[in-house]
């Protein structure tokens, strides 16, 4: 695996063996960041990586200048691996070893961008957008990006914004109802 762009571009890393993580492919990551490059200034955002896995997306955000990154992962080997790479490359990633659904319930922070890359067979995968939006951890102008396969379709979800396909990897974007109702961000009180 490698970091595809930014300060640490080309850095290769080998995640721990025998962990449940399914890293996002380089092709899918490139496609995702082509979209995000036009929507965000990475240095200005607060990013949450749910089901952080091997840390690949957190590393990519850090490489592109994001300095406020929280990664939530339950697998001990992956947590230690993410912390190790973050320290080695001075990325400053905050790594939390916790069940994602418990974190969503107890989190008091708000994030500009949340990425959820759950295991595809997770039985509660389809509940993630509702749980994130209801928890108020996504700020009103923020977006949730969910990685999933074609077995899931979120286009009828009330907070669905858009989706992009990269082979069998699909990214569905969600946002607050307020953002959907006011996509240009204009203050109606003016």
For the segment 152-175, the average pLDDT, to the nearest whole number, is 95
Average pLDDT of span 86-98: 97
Does position 99 have pLDDT exceeding 70, yes or no?
yes
175: left (phi over 0), alpha (psi -120 to 50) or beta: beta
Q: Pick the range with the lowest mean pLDDT from 11-15, 69-73, 110-114.
A: 11-15
pLDDT band, very low/low/confident/very high, at 97 (cuts 50, 70, 90): very high
pTM: 0.93
> Domain-by-domain residue ranges, the chain?
28-34+42-181
CATH superfamily of 28-34+42-181: Vaccinia Virus protein VP39 (3.40.50.150)
Question: Do the bridges between strand 46-50 and strand 111-116 make them parallel or antiparallel, or are there none, so unpaired?
Answer: parallel
Question: What is the distance between the alpha carbons of residues 111 and 139, in angstroms, rounded to a whole number?
Answer: 6
In this prediction, residues 42-47 reach a mean pLDDT of 97
Q: What does the pLDDT read at residue 190?
A: 42
pLDDT for the residue 187: 53
- When the pLDDT of each residue in the chain is averaged and rounded to a whole number, the result is 92
Is the pLDDT at 82 greater than 60? The verdict is yes
pLDDT for 117-142, tens place per residue? 999 889 999 999 999 999 999 999 99
Question: Residues 6 or more apart from 79 whose CB is under 8 A from it?
Answer: 73, 95, 97
Q: Specify the higher pLDDT residue, 92 or 14.
A: 92
Rg for the chain, CA atoms, rounded: 16
Of 113, 142, 141, nearest to 48 by C-alpha is 113
The pLDDT value recorded for residue 19 is: 75
Give the list of residues 6+ apart from residue 60 with CB closer than 8 angstroms, or none. 3, 4, 5, 6, 29, 33
Q: 52 is written with which tokens?
A: 């952080």
Average pLDDT over residues 137-162: 95
Higher pLDDT, residue 98 or 14: 98
pLDDT at 186: 58
- Give the pLDDT mean for 79-101: 97
Q: Is the pLDDT of residue 189 over 50?
A: no
Residue 73: what are its φ and ψ, rounded to 5°? -145, 140
């Amino acid at each position: 695996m490698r970091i595809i762009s930014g300060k640490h571009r080309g850095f290769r890393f080998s995640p721990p063996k025998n962990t449940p993580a399914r890293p996002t492919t380089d092709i899918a990551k490139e496609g995702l960041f082509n979209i995000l490059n036009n929507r965000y200034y990475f240095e200005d955002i607060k990013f949450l990586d749910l089901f952080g896995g091997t840390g690949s997306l957190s590393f990519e955000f850090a490489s592109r200048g994001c300095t406020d990154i929280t990664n939530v992962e339950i697998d001990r080997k992956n947590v230690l691996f993410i912390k190790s790479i973050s320290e080695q490359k001075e990325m400053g990633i905050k790594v939390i070893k916790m069940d994602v659904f418990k974190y969503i319930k107890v989190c008091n922070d708000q994030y500009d961008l949340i990425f959820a890359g759950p295991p595809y067979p997770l039985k509660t995968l389809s509940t993630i957008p509702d749980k994130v939006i209801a928890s108020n951890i996504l700020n009103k102008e923020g977006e949730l990006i969910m990685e999933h396969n074609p077995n899931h379709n979120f286009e009828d979800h009330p907070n669905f914004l858009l989706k992009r396909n990269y082979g069998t990897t699909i990214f569905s974007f969600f946002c607050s109802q307020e953002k959907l109702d006011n996509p240009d961000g204009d203050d109606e009180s003016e």
